């Protein structure tokens, strides 16, 4: 579909981008905005490039998120290369930095971080119509501008706090190292599962191996708990069923933890996938609920063994199995956090 305006905005600023699109189209100005206008199965990058090339004006929803977004920088650069007029609609009191400062610092700005958003959008319509030669430039002088005032809570669009990226390599390295220790100790203990402490000549070594498995398992649990807390923190938009603080404390509550692993582990994939759908973050991949379900079941069974009689056959076999599944889950959690960080424009790892 032919369009006049390309709307550039980050995922956290999508509500404003949608309002801009709806207002312009209500006034007869055709718009292109992602992901609405990207065809299913189409290449994302090519669709963006083609849409910019086919537009006559770019409206940039500018905020701190846009300032830190590499996607926005590339879109603005393409618009400049195609000679498109760029209208920055500033929804936060921040100034462009880096490449954006170079590209748009000389552009005419529309400040929309105070007053009523509807009035700012009305002026935006006038400016766009002038740039499209649909209205004489003199009409801009007739647009009423409300005096600056603090926006009410009801006027503010929902904003996501951009998460910090995590180092996937670091988490995988430490968890792999700990998993190797657990697997090695479990292999040593396995032949004595029928009578762990009934071998006088091996008693001290078996006890030492059991203590090593317990300590390393606890360390691995702490690392995993910290990563889960970070992952849950990225999707706190009022719909997540678990908060980071609840996740940290309740996982270490005796007996109750056997139940709580399911809301924390299994439910994360469900809530994360729902979060992506709510905020139209199509650049992030959905997570496997089946993988997290298996992880939750194994963790639950491990906890049952640890809280009843440590050293059962299941603990010796189940812990290594959970370690292997846990490495895959660790990779998915890191990807989940970093995908949201990329969508929000965060570049620095935590």
**Range among 58-72, 106-120, 256-270, 319-333 with highest mean pLDDT value:** 58-72
CB atoms near residue 63 (< 10 Å): 24
What is the 8-class DSSP label of residue 62?
Answer: E
> In terms of Cα–Cα distance, which of 276, 345, 337, 284 is closest to 44?
284
Distance separating alpha carbons of residues 318 and 264, to the nearest angstrom: 20
Work out the pLDDT band at 308, boundaries 50, 70, 90. very low
Q: For the ranges 14-28, 37-51, 167-181, 199-213, which has the lowest average pLDDT? A: 199-213
Residue 138 has, within 13 A of its CA and on its CB side, a CA count of: 0
What is the arithmetic mean of pLDDT over 227-242? 82
pTM: 0.49
> What 3-state class would DSSP assign to 349?
strand
d(CA 314, CA 312): 5
- Give SS3 for 310: coil
CB 14 within 8 A of CB 29: no
Residue 110 near residue 124 (C-beta atoms within 8 A): yes
Span 200-222, average pLDDT: 73
The C-alpha atoms of residue 337 and residue 342 are separated, in whole angstroms, by 9
Q: How many residues does the chain have?
A: 350
Using only C-alpha atoms, the chain has a radius of gyration, in whole angstroms, of 27
Average pLDDT of 24-33?
93
Cβ partners under 8 Å of residue 203, min gap 6: 197
Which residue has 């760029």 as its token pair?
Answer: 86
DSSP lists the bridge partners of residue 90 as 62, 111
* Those residues with Cβ within 8 angstroms of residue 266's Cβ, 6 or more apart along the chain or in another chain: 289, 292, 293, 295, 296
pLDDT at 195 > cutoff 60: no
The model's pLDDT over 59-116, given as tens digits with 9 standing for 90+, comes to 999 998 898 888 999 999 999 999 899 999 999 888 888 888 878 866 678 888 888 8
Q: Which of these, 25, 27, 35, 26, lies nearest to 3 by C-alpha position?
A: 25
Percent pLDDT > 70 in the chain is: 75
Q: Which domains are delineated in the chain?
A: 5-155 (3.40.50.10140), 168-344 (no CATH)
Q: How many CB atoms lie within 10 A of CB 348?
A: 8
């Amino acid at each position: 579909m032919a369009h006049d305006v390309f709307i550039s905005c980050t995922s956290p600023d999508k509500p404003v981008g949608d309002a801009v699109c709806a207002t312009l189209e209500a006034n007869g100005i055709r718009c292109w905005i992602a992901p609405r206008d990207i065809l299913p199965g189409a290449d994302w990058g090519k669709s963006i490039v083609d849409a910019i090339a086919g537009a006559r004006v770019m409206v940039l929803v500018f905020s701190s998120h846009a300032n830190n977004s590499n996607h926005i920088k590339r879109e603005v650069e393409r618009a400049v290369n195609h000679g498109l007029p760029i209208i920055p609609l500033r929804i936060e009191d921040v100034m462009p930095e880096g490449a954006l400062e170079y590209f748009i610092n000389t552009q005419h700005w529309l400040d929309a971080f105070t007053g009523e958003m509807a009035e700012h959008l009305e002026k935006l319509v006038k400016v766009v119509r002038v740039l499209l030669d649909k209205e004489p430039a003199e009409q801009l002088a007739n647009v009423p501008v409300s005096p600056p005032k603090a926006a009410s809570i009801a006027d503010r669009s929902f904003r996501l706090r951009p998460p910090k990226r995590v180092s996937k390599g670091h988490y995988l390295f430490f968890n792999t190292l700990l998993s190797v220790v657990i697997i090695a100790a479990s292999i040593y203990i396995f032949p004595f599962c029928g009578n762990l402490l009934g071998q006088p000549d091996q008693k001290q070594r078996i006890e030492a191996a059991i203590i090593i498995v317990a300590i390393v398992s606890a360390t691995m649990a702490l690392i995993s708990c910290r990563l889960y807390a970070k992952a849950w923190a990225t999707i706190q938009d009022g719909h997540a069923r678990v908060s980071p603080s609840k996740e940290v404390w309740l996982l270490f509550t005796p007996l109750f933890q056997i139940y709580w692993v399911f809301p924390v582990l299994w439910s994360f994939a469900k809530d994360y996938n729902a979060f992506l759908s709510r905020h139209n973050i199509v650049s992030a991949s959905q997570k496997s609920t089946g993988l997290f379900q298996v992880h939750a079941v194994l963790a639950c069974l491990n906890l049952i063994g640890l809280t009843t009689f440590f050293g059962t056959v299941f603990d010796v076999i189940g812990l290594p199995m959970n370690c292997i599944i846990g490495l895959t889950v660790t990779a998915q959690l890191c990807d989940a956090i970093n995908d949201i960080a990329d969508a929000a424009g965060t570049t620095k790892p935590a």
